[in-house]
Structure 1
């Protein structure tokens, strides 16, 4: 949840339905038991239960919960690579896939939401040195990237990949209102002067799991209605792109996107969007340089601002966060968009120093504020923040005055009272600004934490600290809950709005843990921390972003425990006897393995194969870290970081104590959940320098390991499958020619027939050659081999052309396939695919597993975990 030590978030891509991923360089992980470190106050370090273990283990500097440098040069290592390799994806792929999906039949019954309880990150059951319990975030959900609020208690929250939700009680008691749309990824939400709600899809936060969208939608009477496809403004112009900001200036709507800035009438919603400006049009789809690997970074517009006294004077904040020669501020001169090179005061104009930018204007027009991230600091372990600025003329043309730097924000109090983080260390990912509509000098700023200024930036308070662990009021004692500390927000801020409910004004913030609110004129303690934050993540807004799912029998109740790894919200565990879900591991959560016979035996991945194991559900409530019962057990690639951000591991289908993990090597251990050390792993095969596993499967000692190489995208992209035995014998690479039956794309899932190890299925990510620029993109998404991978057959048949993620064989021989749009089913005696079940939200399902209860479990990356009764014996006809 809170540490995010290894989340390397990088570029964005012009891909359909997909992430813009980027995850940077890997740090080292240790193989020590979790919780074996000293108390943070005893050592004087600014490290905390989970932060202590993870930050130190990964080699990060003391006091930096992020654990080290965010390195954008090591780009495209997860979602973007998987969905675009071996090149880039052209616009239209997503709409075409949706069209195919609508024509398909449905099989099976209704999906049931499993994660339907509040997710309490402070659950005292898991108050130990390996979780974030007592950090102060309370109930959490997935990342909220858009917020809007009116003065009648209506609040609208847009999730990173979970759609738009409405509250009519000032926050909480949420209802989804965009489930009929083909995209659930939020870029921005805005209420216009008429009260209409504008929904810009496609998240542009350049995260490891950021999905593109399908355009802009406008909902009349959002207090009562829900979005439909008929609410889209324009045509396909903004499909397969991301929209960072939507600004309504006068009668014009401006969309700042990853493919330039576009405009549309804000009153007449018919007709297409028009491209107003793209700094490098040759790199746009259809341009002469569209296939260049750098094309996705060449036309990024971050925000739009206009002079309130003369709305024709528009300023664009343009540029890629890691720096480019086109970065800077642009305005129209003699009808031509021109980069500003003259002085704007303290706000830099040199291309090298302008990165991700957010503007905010006071309601009375007297002031403009801006956050600027400096690309020259992108690898700094301290901060990438250029600064926070104010224009006291009210014009975005300045002159601008610097009012806050990272050092100033951190020094807003002592080490005990001020920020608990290096402010702006992820300013390329975390930004918001909001001016109090009743006071132009009252400002909220969001970076990793929430800051407040009452004097136009002259002084600041950290009203939403990163967490409570570093403060004297904190206590790990579960009887004291969070000690005497007040609740804070989750970290990593993305969205903000101000609205009223029952005559009282509130500020709403959205971050990696969901939505929170406090009175606009709230109270603070003597340390400058807010005392009145309220979590709005009451369990009715389930936008949890799962990478994985695991299910095991609950030995107490006879029911079933459900676990899963989450983006920046650790590992969740849902037990039948508990009123809430708890978080038994903190940080990011990756792949998951759960003992079907005992749901308290859990193996979880932080990132990059940094694996941990527990035999008591992680419920080691103790104030003595030496009694930890969770153990750090990474294979060698988990120590060196030579593995994918979310790297694969699994248990042998016939020998559950034999585990297989895939990094640069294929590693095996045979102690099951009794594993205690890195030394219990054996590297049985080297996939080759620069190659890393993308999927692994094992049955009866036979292992298949899919991998990618050559940077896993671009001109050097390569992929393959290695096959061998768990004892290290018989290893060989399969012959997969670039233009063979198996496409030259990212190989995302493997499944072995339990009755015949030579019978194997392969799921392939990305889009087919109709949409993909790159050699050998091929066609199809699911393939079958009966001879150990010597030859393959494409069994995709009528499947939509959409990235496939995970495949499973049901007991009677039918198949379940998880994709970025839906879960599909093929009967054992059929060649046709059908949509599996009703009621599953349109979302990316990253993993499917069969639980010991016989149900199918789907881990969606934005709408939680769902389950469905498996159609035993049904052939699909």
Structure 2
């Protein structure tokens, strides 16, 4: 038995400054008193990639477009009763996540669009005081860059896919376009499956032509469209083919940067064959730097600036240049080394004042400004760390907005302080994992670079812990104890836990965890029937504590590498399952008392078509400790959801039953949960593409379009039939289930709906075998988004005039009958 003493104590309370100062005393490497996020090594991507990659070691592009098409085909069959009663958003309300781009309407600076990586595109119409999501069911929730047509600002475009990833499902799905000033967007079909358009660094519109725009891709160079995005041509593909930044000057000059390669420029609006390499004095040379960021002064566009990021992970900026003739000739200035590292192309931001070419702002992990064109640099207050984007306010020329891992903050050029935090209602927190309290709306979750948060009521939360928040639990017997952790092997215990009042936290990390090695976001689970008992995985062993972390015991003698999931039965002395890569699956009986080496190996029981897959979720049947629901999180065309039975010591046959039904092919399932009242019938799947449910034992699945179409890292069911969702991009949710009579018929009778005219250009009349007066109707587009709903009035017509041209699905519900129809809107 290994004994650990509580040698580190963290006092967590208001004000926030106290939290950070005391954190510095505990662990100097995690100290950053300038912000709430510590800006540490963005190391989750490697872990995520290993858990997601396919059999060829890759993430295939444009998967979400395929999944969306599959979902759209299922709409006509969606006749099952949804077991979920309501969707309660827990938040946090004002803790934002990584924001890669900002667009401000040049006609009205109150209208702002923000690109929240993995949380979708968001819109504010009051200058950032409040926010609303653009489309919670968009095919891609990975907006990375935004631009608009300077001749017609109603035309707004955004590219998708994060090329320098940290923690999200990084691929995008091409370019999306709005023709109404950013209110709604449609995927540009010509950009789906176009090489490189799954990871777009930048998108910019020409300043001299109303139909020309450029896209910089991560893997296939620079593209240009001359017809508003209908068709595209690759106009440059030299160097390493990675275009990080594009600047379109008013004289038609196009400048683009290529990571670790060079800068190119064209004086012919980007015509193929006209790009030339730009020379910089005292250039660091190819392979000595990473990204290059550009900026220019709007009033004096011939004044252009360039900053070179250092090559190594912790390097500061190494070069800074100024040009006074549109980027033809350059003069070296002082590099903003006090702006912090950019983590090898992860966070690099440069902005220029719109009317004063001497004023600049630079961001890496920190923010610095210059008032003399880059001769000297001065530190200013940081709203957060890891800065990504910048935008000037078009009317209030003394103000600008910066986007970071902590969302959005407004500044004045004349001040070193933050003018305003713009994150109220910008609900894009990227949670890795989470759990719930014994009752109410108490949830706890760990987030990317924003610590651990606890909710006490919907949209009311408290920050409890810093760094990259990781796995966490609240005791379910009386809620008096909580376990929290941050990146790598740091796990802490908090007694006298109160969801609204943080208190002391004791470090219960065992030295063996460090020597074994752990994941960046490292898994551990608490016994739901005994809050003193915790099971912790490392890269070699599974550990157990029965006294809240004062002592840890190894559970296996042989090394078990690649553990990714732990499942615990509902017993004080539980059956514990653990598994992971290569479909490993082990069981420990009487795990509260078992000695090391008692695990039973079920590795050979898995079907041959999934033996090389990754088990990410293990959910033990609430009434049968020898039945387990297995979720496979890697990309594969093989089934991703399984029900495994016969895991007791008597049964000789272990049965893996495929319960994937009609889930989209290839869609990773991160975790499964079951209804405690109907654990053999009613299932829930947390996937990379939203939430699905089944009420027929996994034969058919339906998508709940009330839940945002984001990656659900974890879903967990409480015994009172409340399902908690922990999303990577949209915070936490609680979903109470409906009461369902076990004897009721859960499947509605489905009939065909007669609708005409079809195609239609205005209204649709609907008729069925019964009267539909006052019946409920919904109209969904092919992405599954509900665009119209209401009750039928006299005449039984549905207004379609405001809808865009395309295919739609109509559902009309009357009593226990559901009528469906597919129509085409074609207004010429």
For Structure 1 versus Structure 2, the TM-score category normalised by the shorter chain is 0.7 to 0.9
Q: What CA deviation, in whole Å up to 9, does each residue of 1:569-589 have, x standing for no partner?
A: 11111224x984210111111
Please give the alpha-carbon distance, in whole angstroms, between the structure 1 residues aligned to 2:33 and 2:414.
32
Q: What CA deviation, in whole Å up to 9, does each residue of 1:804-824 have, x standing for no partner?
A: 111122212132110011212
Q: Is 2:335 the counterpart of 1:404?
A: yes
Please give the alpha-carbon distance, in whole angstroms, between the structure 2 residues aligned to 1:516 and 1:222.
23
CA contact (8 A) 1:108 1:837 kept: no
1:457 positional shift: 0.9
Q: How many residues align?
A: 704
Q: What CA deviation, in whole Å up to 9, does each residue of 1:485-519 have, x standing for no partner?
A: xxxx1111111111146x56520111111111123
Q: Is 2:33 the counterpart of 1:33?
A: no
Tell me, what secondary structure is at the counterpart of 1:115?
Answer: strand
Q: Is 2:304 the counterpart of 1:304?
A: no
Pick closer, same or farther for the CA change 1:240–1:260 going to 2, 3 Å: closer
- In the TM superposition, 1:677-692 aligns within 5 A as 677=550, 680-685=551-556, 688=559, 691-692=561-562
1:49 positional shift: 2.6
CA contact (8 A) 1:216 1:238 kept: no
1:357 counterpart residue number: 292
Please give the alpha-carbon distance, in whole angstroms, between the structure 1 residues aligned to 2:403 and 2:263.
27
Q: For structure 1, which segment, 455-464 or 383-392, has the greater mean C-alpha deviation from structure 2 after superposition? A: 383-392
1:317 counterpart residue number: 257
Please give the alpha-carbon distance, in whole angstroms, between the structure 1 residues aligned to 2:196 and 2:718.
37
2:566 counterpart residue number: 696
1:78 counterpart residue number: 47
- Higher Cα radius of gyration: 2
TM-score by length of 2: 0.77
Please give the alpha-carbon distance, in whole angstroms, between the structure 1 residues aligned to 2:715 and 2:499.
26
1:269 counterpart residue number: 229
Q: Which runs of 5+ in 2 are unaligned?
A: 13-17, 648-652, 748-828
1:664 positional shift: 1.6
Q: Is 2:187 the counterpart of 1:328?
A: no
Q: Which runs of 5+ in 1 are unaligned?
A: 1-28, 38-44, 120-139, 281-297, 411-422, 466-488, 524-528, 623-627, 709-717, 770-778
Please give the alpha-carbon distance, in whole angstroms, between the structure 2 residues aligned to 1:162 and 1:69.
21
CA contact (8 A) 2:205 2:248 kept: no
Pick closer, same or farther for the CA change 1:353–1:805 going to 2, 3 Å: same
- In the TM superposition, 1:549-564 aligns within 5 A as 549-553=434-438, 559-564=440-445
Q: What CA deviation, in whole Å up to 9, does each residue of 1:414-452 have, x standing for no partner?
A: xxxxxxxxx125362111111111112211211112221
Which of residues 184, 196, 207 is equivalent to 1:226?
A: 184
Pick closer, same or farther for the CA change 1:823–1:582 going to 2, 3 Å: same
CA contact (8 A) 1:431 1:493 kept: yes
CA contact (8 A) 1:560 1:599 kept: no
Please give the alpha-carbon distance, in whole angstroms, between the structure 1 residues aligned to 2:605 and 2:257.
45
1:429 counterpart residue number: 346
CA contact (8 A) 2:40 2:449 kept: no
1:871 positional shift: 4.2
1:617 positional shift: 3.5
1:687 positional shift: 6.4
CA contact (8 A) 1:145 1:159 kept: yes
CA contact (8 A) 1:248 1:266 kept: no
CA contact (8 A) 2:97 2:116 kept: yes
Please give the alpha-carbon distance, in whole angstroms, between the structure 1 residues aligned to 2:39 and 2:428.
28
Pick closer, same or farther for the CA change 1:756–1:493 going to 2, 3 Å: same
1:658 positional shift: 2.5
Which of residues 772, 793, 804 is equivalent to 2:669?
A: 804
Please give the alpha-carbon distance, in whole angstroms, between the structure 2 residues aligned to 1:453 and 1:68.
23
- In the TM superposition, 1:125-274 aligns within 5 A as 140-151=95-106, 152=108, 153-193=110-150, 194-195=152-153, 196-222=155-181, 225-229=183-187, 234-237=191-194, 241-249=198-206, 250-251=208-209, 252-265=212-225, 267-271=227-231, 273-274=232-233
Please give the alpha-carbon distance, in whole angstroms, between the structure 2 residues aligned to 1:211 and 1:593.
28
Please give the alpha-carbon distance, in whole angstroms, between the structure 2 residues aligned to 1:112 and 1:619.
21
Q: What CA deviation, in whole Å up to 9, does each residue of 1:855-874 have, x standing for no partner?
A: 11111111111122224546
Please give the alpha-carbon distance, in whole angstroms, between the structure 1 residues aligned to 2:170 and 2:449.
16
1:133 counterpart residue number: none
1:736 positional shift: 4.4
Which of residues 613, 624, 641 is equivalent to 2:493?
A: 613
- Bigger fraction of residues in strand: 2
1:79 positional shift: 1.9
2:89 counterpart residue number: 114
- In the TM superposition, 1:407-556 aligns within 5 A as 409=338, 423-424=340-341, 426=343, 428-465=345-382, 489-500=383-394, 505-519=398-412, 521-523=413-415, 529-530=416-417, 532-538=418-424, 540-553=425-438
Pick closer, same or farther for the CA change 1:432–1:821 going to 2, 3 Å: same
Q: What CA deviation, in whole Å up to 9, does each residue of 1:722-774 have, x standing for no partner?
A: 333421342244334998132522221111223333321211112225xxxxx
1:50 counterpart residue number: 23
Q: Is 2:641 the counterpart of 1:782?
A: yes
Q: What CA deviation, in whole Å up to 9, does each residue of 1:659-700 have, x standing for no partner?
A: 2121223434343xx5253xx1112126637x2321111225
CA contact (8 A) 2:714 2:726 kept: yes
Please give the alpha-carbon distance, in whole angstroms, between the structure 2 residues aligned to 1:54 and 1:618.
24
1:278 positional shift: 3.7
1:16 counterpart residue number: none
Tell me, what secondary structure is at the counterpart of 2:380?
Answer: strand
Please give the alpha-carbon distance, in whole angstroms, between the structure 1 residues aligned to 2:114 and 2:489.
33
Q: CA RMSD in A?
A: 3.6
Pick closer, same or farther for the CA change 1:278–1:343 going to 2, 3 Å: closer
1:14 counterpart residue number: none
Tell me, what secondary structure is at the counterpart of 2:49?
Answer: helix
CA contact (8 A) 2:523 2:565 kept: yes
- In the TM superposition, 1:336-415 aligns within 5 A as 340=277, 343-348=279-284, 350-363=285-298, 364-375=300-311, 377-378=312-313, 380=314, 383-395=315-327, 397-406=328-337, 409=338
2:650 counterpart residue number: none
Pick closer, same or farther for the CA change 1:560–1:76 going to 2, 3 Å: closer
CA contact (8 A) 1:608 1:646 kept: yes
CA contact (8 A) 1:256 1:304 kept: yes
